[in-house]
Amino acid sequence: MRTFFKWLLRIVLVFVLAAVVVGIWKREEIQRLMAVNSLFSEDKIVHNFSHMNEAFLTIDLPRGDGPTSELPYGSGFDLPEGTDQWIEDRAVTSLLVMQDGQIRFEEYYLGTGADDRRISWSVAKSYLSALFGILMEEGAIASLDDPVTKYAPKLEGSAYQDATIRNVLNMASGVTFDEDYLDYNSDINRMGRVVALGGELDDFAASLEESFTTPGETWQYVSIDTHVIGMVIRGATGRSVSELMTEKIVQPLGLERDGYYITDGAGVAFVLGGLNFTTRDFARFGQMILQNGVHDGQQLVPADWIAESTQPSAPTAQGKIGYGYQWWIPLGAHEGEFLARGVYGQYIYFDQPRGVLIVSTGADRKFREPGINEQNIEMFRKIAQSL
């Protein structure tokens, strides 16, 4: 009997030791998963959105050794009536207003500061569109009507088999994908856990097999479409998106701080929502777009691409907000009015005729409530018109 208990004790010790080893080995993954599960908690969301590198794998986008481009300050102005209440209601963390290349208003809220590198969520999609336009002009991609499988053969046999580049740029791939951020088991949240646990998004995209319509017929916001754009870019150039973004956009802009991308387990940039910059550095990108792709006398993004990509070319429903190539066009927009938008209150708003650029970041846990996006756009319009 004593021999049996000694044997049993050895077995228990072996299992305990194995559990400890696995716990240490998987500690980072477990910590990331726990961080993701509490990412949007009321008491943590503001901090988390300025410290995404604590929850995910990341890759730097170095600003380089060049000088920081100046963002001069112009005269201040009084924000329109109701702005303070809007800032409180929408949990705004930063608001920066520029006109004619000068900062007219800049403020930070909820304990955030100018040095915070904040997550932009789907604002990152518009950055990728700008990069895609550069690569199109350089000839890396032959046509928007090429099938995505020409450059991303891993997608052959998947739901993306018949989709073109134009389809995915327009969010009209027809791929079945649940974008409900409030449903733990939705595709968008499953994808988030894949990233947190070091999985590969290329595999995730290739695993999607169901379509709800023919590509190009119906607009439906499907974030994984943007990852497919990233796959096309990598396949066409043989280079990573982070390298290309750094070389062609980040370093020429003269940012004040390095940016960074969230990545999956293979080091592939989370191009659909993983960009992190300071508010002023988001403004540097925005000002370049506002100026039709020109920064400091240099044409970074082709003007024709900006004009084309910010037109409401996607097959959105009548009477609803328009969509271009990863850019939003508000209902009733005048020429040169468009925006980049991310969940929880991230915006870059453009009014080209007025020379106005507005950057707003937030931690708005009520962002999905009916009419919130429309209220935000109306506030940006009121600000632009009050200058």
- Within a 13 Å sphere around the CA of 19, how many CA atoms are in the beta-carbon half? 6
Instruction: Give alpha helix (H) positions in 139-246.
Output: 165-169, 187-196, 201-207, 224-237, 241-245
Taking residues 50-58, what's their average pLDDT?
94
Residue with tokens 């996006």: 373
Model confidence band, residue 4 (pLDDT cutoffs 50, 70, 90): very low
User: Given this model, what pLDDT does residue 197 score?
Assistant: 84
**What's the CATH number for 38-386?**
3.40.710.10
pLDDT digit string, tens, across residues 86-130 = 999 999 999 999 999 999 999 999 999 999 999 999 999 999 999
d(CA 328, CA 321): 7
Model confidence, pTM: 0.92
Phi, psi (5° rounding) for residue 185? -95, 10
Taking residues 282-288, what's their average pLDDT?
98
Asked if residue 196 lies in contact with residue 29, where contact means CB atoms within 8 angstroms, the answer is: yes
CA proximity to 361, closest of 57, 9, 114: 114
pLDDT digit string, tens, across residues 10-53 = 554 544 454 444 455 456 666 666 666 789 999 999 999 999 99
Taking residues 338-363, what's their average pLDDT?
98
pLDDT digit string, tens, across residues 235-279 = 999 999 999 999 999 999 999 999 999 999 999 999 999 999 999
CA proximity to 261, closest of 248, 249, 272, 247: 272
Residue spans of the domains in the chain: they are 38-386
Taking residues 52-72, what's their average pLDDT?
95
Q: Which two tokens stand for residue 234?
A: 């990598």
Q: Which two tokens stand for residue 123?
A: 């604002």
Contacts of 385 (CB under 8 A, 6+ apart): 354
pLDDT value at 285 more than 70: yes
User: Given this model, what pLDDT does residue 195 score?
Assistant: 86
Taking residues 136-164, what's their average pLDDT?
98
pLDDT digit string, tens, across residues 177-216 = 998 887 888 998 889 888 888 899 999 999 999 999 999 9
Asked if residue 179 lies in contact with residue 223, where contact means CB atoms within 8 angstroms, the answer is: yes
Contacts of 217 (CB under 8 A, 6+ apart): 172, 174, 315
User: Given this model, what pLDDT does residue 19 score?
Assistant: 47
